[in-house]
Structure 1
Amino acid sequence: MTAFARCIAATILLLWTTALGFAADRVIVVLDASGSMWAQIDGKPKLEIARESLRAALQSIPADREIGFMAYGHREKGSCSDIELIVPPAAGTAGAITTAADNLKFLGKTPLTAAVKQAAEALKYTEDKATVVLITDGLETCGGDPCALGKELEAAGVDFTADVVGFGLTAEEGKQVACLADNTDGKYIQASDEAALKNALAETVAAPQPAPAPEPEPKAAEVEYNLVPKAVLKDGGEPPARIDVFFKLFKDDAQGTDGKYVDSGYYPARMHAAAGDYILRATSGGAKAEQKITLTADKTAEPVLNLNAAALYLRPRPAPDAEPDGNAQIVIDYPGGTSSANFGETKFVVPAGETKITVKLGAGEASETLQLTAGQVVDKDIIVGVGKVQANASYTAGGEKVDSGDLSWKVLKATKKIDGTRDQVTYGFGADAKFDLPAGDYVMAVDIQAVSAEQPFSVKVGELNEVNIALNAGVVAIEAPGADDFNVFEAKKDIQGERRKVTYGFGEKFQTTLAAGDYVLVTGFTTDKPDSETPFTVKAGERTELTVK
């Protein structure tokens, strides 16, 4: 069993084992079927690992366990609404889920936030206990906010949990989806290497269940909440508007360090803890503060923690009149740390002092350094200064666009270096490839199989430029029973009598894209039959079919 299979099994077994002895809950497994699942790990596509691992995990689930299956990105390219509940939650669905996973196509985007919300609604999470297991190899690409969704589902659900399996994500990427699990008291499991998997299993399935708490002694009269804290940016200030502050309460171990964790919550937090000495910590963004407090059962403590910080409200815009762009990354370097997991409109708190803000959008970048004081609120737009480019290719000028994932794009600087080459600015794949670029002159280069083409273009800030490249090419499809390999040469020989090889392939069938022109196909056979030479012509915008006998 692969590491990912054991990770999925651990996640589903966790949901099963934690339900024993409590009200039964139902589960929907949400699988990422986006195009990125074609990437390989150790020479094997992620989608194949996912299918085999899911099949292995489902074999260990009892037949009466109610499990459903949802996928996204499996029917349409570029669609943020391509989400489908393929197998509704019911007992005995293991076979149906396996079949559904085996038949998935992996080609779309990653609307993971909307998918989890739809799964929760399908489980009637506001009425019954419900669990969603999200398996994703990428981050949200449709503007959703998984962290905010986790809070929403936790607040509205009867007993809702989201467990997240990050398949091949880096540790930094994992933080951007782990909050969905954290905010619903679920588990985030990093499925990247064996060591991470062992830690996940030890933390979840192998973790012993806590012993039942003893019956409490009769209590004297007490207040409902004996701790109602708040945090401020400076002494005498009010809690910052629109900013999340998270409080954690620990026992005071009398050694100057945190003791046992007791409780936590976001402002306005209301807690009740046994009488005693505690350490209360407040965190918001990169700022934090802590205070020792003493609680009693009959009185509400209202401590105020000073974060000594400033609040940032940032809106990254491609151009002065453009809307904020959710794909823009905001990197905040503040005293004592860096936050890079910010995209689109961002709210963040930083300790007072020098803070550098860097906004990255495509190949564009803008930065600004601020000297911030405690209590300061910065509410501003940050203009990156880019235009947008959409690239497509057609076989002939004015023809329909080539809708293929084989298209490979490179954006190059227009000016050549002394050696005649150009520096690469960025790259992309497929039809309707989109790029954010600073103003200037560029060259768009495209490759599809054996064809390459280039076209110069210019970018203006705040404008959309559509680059359409005519490949002047066609497609040739070759079939040769008993063939071992194919080699395609230009028909014209050079001064030495040699032909330039254009491309090659193996097996009995071969299809490729070629520039319009004359060629010679050399077919090698698995038997002692000599190689066969077949001349042929490719016309732009047409398909040529050859049969070699």
Structure 2
Amino acid sequence: MAGLARSLAAAILLLWMTTPGLAADRVVIVLDASGSMWAQIDGKPKLEIARESLRSVLQSVPADKEIGFMAYGHREKGSCEDIELIVPPQAGSAGAVSAAADSLKFIGKTPLTSAVKQAAEALKYAEDKATVILITDGLETCNGDPCALGKELKAAGVDFTVDVVGFGLTADEGRQVACLADNTGGKYIQASDEQALQNALVETIAAAPAPAPEPAPAPQPAPALEPEKPEFNFVPTVVLAEGGDPVTDGNSWEIYKASSDGTRGDYVTTEYGAYKGNLEPDDYIIVARDGEARTEQKLKVEAGQVYKPLFALNAGTLIIHPRPSEGADVADGAAVVIAYPGVDTPPTYYGDTKVVLPAGDQKVTVTIGQGEVTETISLTAGRVIDKDIIVGVGHVVANAYYVAGGDKADGSGIGFKVFKAKKKIDGTREEVTYAYGPDSKFDLPPDDYVLMATVDLAVAEQPFSVKLGEHQDLKIAINAGVLAITAPGASKIEIFDPKKDVNGNRKSLGYAYDEKYQAALPAGDYAVVSEKLDNSSRESTVTIKAGERAQLTVQ
């Protein structure tokens, strides 16, 4: 796993190293912070690999490099507008970018096309040479067209390029975003095969010519001896609770200059784990973080002094195992929302959850499908609470069949809706949820329900009940067949109920603007009308039998 993190880091660094003339560029890194980044590679979330890789690369970037940082999907779960330029492009921003990436929540959608466009505009791409580096583990989910955007930016930009790192994408998925790089003259790097990517990077870096050796400097007079300085003058320690063991893994240190009014001033650096460092004499504000817990102290550093401050987070560790029922496996897709003391927007985790939180009452809400349960857990500083939370649902897999015991409907046009069985006072039922396609899955609290299945123009309902922890396959027979219509030269094909109302009109059931039309229909008799561009029409009748296919040609 460390190898994959290094590979992704090397890929990003290589983009900076090998882009011609980059010394004059201004760069914005766009990071995918959608919920899919919680997926794991070799047991480690992709978001952690991305964070660690960015941190490693940014430590090697020259201080005068102008870097900005943008993310999407990090604040709102279902929004296509959730795009934010967190760090504007500027020199010396590497540490700020690392800190921003480490603080992101990964919860939303993937509006990558809009994000890249906004990043280009932030770089004034139409006026200056600029590069956008997109790191994404998924495809566009907000109706953007990355290929078209690439052409648009290339046409309007001044030597503008987009480099794309496809993190964990398949080859087919990669081709769908590679065009964004191709159409701007940039690079696409697929970071899914660790060894292959490492070999390509080693070959490219090794092929770079070594710099010519500089002439040996002239001998200098021996400097005057100075008093021996300590190796480090800042050696902080952080604990979850007073008297607890030091935290040395997963924690971070944010260091800022202190302003004249005592508030945070200029950002200095972010470090991790058991940190030892050297700070220039000045006034600082030091922020210690672990998980969702943080504390800060002011520190005045004077020359020749060593400082060993202790930071107590007043925090504990909460481990949540969300399960649909007692004894069931952990639900990997379960959403775990934890509202801890002092938070305005509670973070969302998925599946097994382990997080450091400020001590106090933790309001934990776990959602599996349509089941939801909320518990308040009191967490004491320094304590670890390991707890199962049972949501209480049953699992249902729904499929539609043309007739009982016949063929399963497995094409397009299949949909399912779940309603409460009990009708409301106005005679309607409350819709609970819906899904599309065969093998549609539902996690539902115990209750009585009605399943409505739709296959093209055929609709059927079936009552069912859900019991706690029960897995059941629902097979609903729609009593329908399939009608395949061919009408050579037709501009429109329309299917009618053959019966006319009192006004002589027939009910239209479905139509297509084509010479061919296929749809599932309830068993019965139908009229089929084909229309041509000259407004002439032809009509035929057909009988549909449940579980059978009928073919009709309308001349």
Q: TM-score range by the shorter chain?
A: 0.5 to 0.7
Residues 1:233 and 2:240 are matched in the alignment: yes
Paired residues, number: 419
Residue in structure 2 matched with residue 329 of structure 1 by the alignment: 335
- 1:150 matched to 2:156? The reply is no
Unaligned runs of 5+ in 1: 1-11, 25-131, 210-216
1:139 aligns with 2:139: no
Given the alignment, which residue of 462, 465, 475 partners 2:469? 462
1:383 paired with 2:395, answer: no
Aligned-partner SS, 1:150: helix
1:319–1:386 contact (8 Å) kept in structure 2: yes
CA distance in 1, matches of 2:124, 2:552: 58
For the residue of structure 1 that corresponds to 2:422, the secondary structure is coil
Kindly provide the CA deviation profile for residues 420-444 of structure 1, in whole angstroms up to 9, marking residues without a partner as x. Answer: 2211111111111111111121111
Kept in 1, the 8 Å contact 2:335–2:349? The answer is yes
Correspondence for 1:431 = 438
**Residue 544 (structure 2) aligned to one of 535, 538, 541:** 538
Q: Deviations over 1:189-224 (max 9, x none)?
A: 984796984356526977999xxxxxxx99975555
Task: Determine whether 1:278 maps to 2:284.
Answer: yes
Structure 1 residue aligned with 2:369: 362
Task: Report what 1:112 is aligned to.
Answer: none
Q: CA deviation at 1:339?
A: 2.1
CA spacing shift, 1:153–1:237, aligned 2, 3 Å:
same
Name the structure 2 match of 1:484.
Answer: 491
User: Aligned pair in 2 of structure 1 residues 221, 523: CA closer, same or farther (>3 Å)?
Assistant: farther
Identify if the C-alpha distance between structure 1 residues 277 and 480 changes in structure 2 by more than 3 Å, giving closer, same or farther: same
Q: In the TM superposition, what is the alpha-carbon distance from 1:462 to its structure 2 partner?
A: 1.6
8 Å Cα contact 1:393/1:402 also seen in 2:
yes
Report if the CA contact (8 A) 1:143-1:326 is conserved: no
Q: CA deviation at 1:520?
A: 0.7
| Letter paired with 2:491 | D
* Mapping of residues 32-431 of structure 1, within 5 Å: 139-140=36-37, 145-151=45-51, 153=53, 171-172=76-77, 191=111, 197-198=117-118, 201-202=121-122, 222-239=229-246, 244-295=250-301, 301-337=307-343, 338-431=345-438
Tell me, in whole angstroms, the C-alpha distance in 2 between the residues paired with 1:227 and 1:303: 8
Shifted more, 287-296 versus 427-436: the winner is 287-296
Compared CA separation, residues 157 and 462, structure 1 to 2 (3 A): farther
Q: Which runs of 5+ in 2 are unaligned?
A: 1-10, 24-28, 62-67, 87-95, 132-222
Deviation of 1:482 after TM superposition, in Å, equals 2.7
Give the structure-1-normalised TM-score: 0.65
Moved more, 370-379 or 392-401: 370-379
Question: What is aligned with 2:512?
Answer: 505
Pair member with larger Rg: 2
C-alpha separation between the residues in 2 aligned to 1:336 and 1:207? 43
Residue by residue over 1:148-184, the C-alpha shift from the partner in whole angstroms, topping out at 9 and shown as x without a partner, is: 22256568989999x99978887456799x9xx9669
Q: Deviations over 1:114-151 (max 9, x none)?
A: xxxxxxxxxxxxxxxxxx99879873585662222225
Partner AA of 1:540 in structure 2: A
Distance 1:170 1:471, change over 3 A: farther
Give the 3 Å change call, closer, same or farther, for CA 223–476 of structure 1 in structure 2. Answer: farther
Q: Is the 8 A contact 1:483 1:507 kept in 2?
A: yes
Secondary structure of 2:325's counterpart equals coil
Residue 292 of structure 1, CA deviation: 1.5
Q: CA deviation at 1:342?
A: 0.8
Contact 1:482–1:527 (Cα < 8 Å) also in 2: no
The structure-2 alpha-carbon separation of the partners of 1:236 and 1:528, relative to structure 1 and needing over 3 Å to count, comes to closer
- In structure 2, how many angstroms separate the alpha carbons of the residues matched to 1:258 and 1:175? 26
Sequence identity (%): 39
Quote the offset at 1:495 in angstroms.
Answer: 6.6
Distance 2:469 2:293 in 1: 35
Tell me the TM-score normalized by structure 2.
0.64
Is 484-493 or 494-503 further displaced after alignment?
494-503
Local SS of the residue matching 1:147: helix
1:483-517 CA distance string (max 9 Å, x none): 22222122345576654322122232222221222
CA distances 1:98-118 after superposition (whole Å, capped 9, x unpaired)? xxxxxxxxxxxxxxxxxxxxx
Call closer, same or farther: CA 1:441–1:312 in 2, change over 3 Å: same
Matches within 5 A, 1:19-38: 19-20=18-19
Match of 2:453 in 1: 446
Work out the CA distance in 2 between the residues paired with 1:282 and 1:146.
24
Shift of 1:326: 1.5
Residue matched to 1:126: none
